[in-house]
Amino acid sequence: MNELHHHTAPFGQEASPRADKVTHWVIDETHADQRIDNFLLKLAKGVPKSHIYRILRSGEVRVNRGRVDATYRLCVGDMVRLPPLRLAVRQTTVIPPALEFPILYEDESLLVIDKPAGVAVHGGSGVSYGVIEQLRRARPQAKFLELVHRLDRETSGILLLAKKRLALVALHEQMRNGEVDKRYLACVSGVFPQVREHLKFPLLKYHTQEGERRVRVQEDGQYAHTVVKRLEIFKQFSLLEAQLKTGRTHQIRVHLAHYGYPIVGDDKYGDFALNRELTKARASLGFRRMFLHAHRIGLQHPSHGGLLELEAPLSSACQTFLHHIRAEDERCQNGHLT
């Protein structure tokens, strides 16, 4: 009789598919409403994606003894039959440290943290691990923990994580429908001319010759819309609030740079000469990051539907930078008056 597995541990921990025999998996609420192909791709890490889709097409994967296609969504109690799989030899991996982050909100469905700048949200592209891997290590009892969205490595602020699959699905639907209000604070080079401006530049992803991912404004790119509100202006800088109407990769950074007001400290789309000048002239400030911060979010709670509004305070480094340029402007103004 085939061995029966009740898979309740987070992927990559206690349970794994067998290379030598058929295995069975009973679906609980942690994996309910997930597509069967996505379930298998996470379950059988190390197995080529093409092989997963081949065994689905051939009927070797069965749900409740019947064939299903790749789009089938799992239900609580489903019995998934998985044929023997030959796993690829795994490379030596770095074990992430167990680490918690400042918590802005938490309940049984949702975890909201204040992500520091300089920390990736997940491993990959030369990064061994990120926020999600460290949180999973810190919370071994968690049956489910997934990123709802992403922030660039150098962007700080509000990051949503789902503790239940149904919460993840509900939040993704809100984001697709444009129902999540996400606002960022950005300090840019130059005096922004408008109190309020709608930036609508289509964005196209591409890769540099070195293989790095980049985004540029291009006519045949994806529609992208950012609403910019001017909060404060200085002699050489502006403090802005950027509201995302769409959620494209690097959207705020590319939109502002294309409009002529690059974000301070942006090492991909910024004013590189200014960044070098700031590093030298203001080294005593210790400001060595990009000034982009996810500071406010509004959404419907994925479980009870009530309005949830959260804010993340600016880091001390960003506050110190603003205090410094305010003081510089004041000194210049007083010198001019005298």
Contact 98, 134 (CB under 8 A): yes
Q: CA 331, CA 326: separation in Å to the nearest integer?
A: 9
Q: How many CA atoms lie within 13 A of 114 on its CB side?
A: 13
> Is 152 a catalytic site residue?
yes
**Catalytic member of 37, 152, 266, 271:** 152
Using only C-alpha atoms, the chain has a radius of gyration, in whole angstroms, of 24
CB atoms near residue 200 (< 10 Å): 12
Contact 84, 22 (CB under 8 A): yes
Q: CA 277, CA 173: separation in Å to the nearest integer?
A: 43
Contact 294, 159 (CB under 8 A): yes
Which residue do the tokens 């699905």 mark?
Answer: 169
Contact 160, 148 (CB under 8 A): yes
Contact 76, 34 (CB under 8 A): no
Alpha-carbon distance values, 91 to 43, 86, 94, 119 (Å) = 17, 15, 10, 23
Backbone φ, ψ for residue 138 (5° rounding): -75, -20
Query: What single-letter amino acid sits at 133?
Result: E
Q: Give one DSSP letter per residue of 73-123, joined into a string.
A: BP-TT-EEEE----PPPPPP-PPPPP----EEEE-SSEEEEEEPTT--SS-
Q: CA 102, CA 216: separation in Å to the nearest integer?
A: 33
First-to-final CA distance of the chain: 93
Q: CA 131, CA 134: separation in Å to the nearest integer?
A: 5
Catalytic residue numbers read: 152
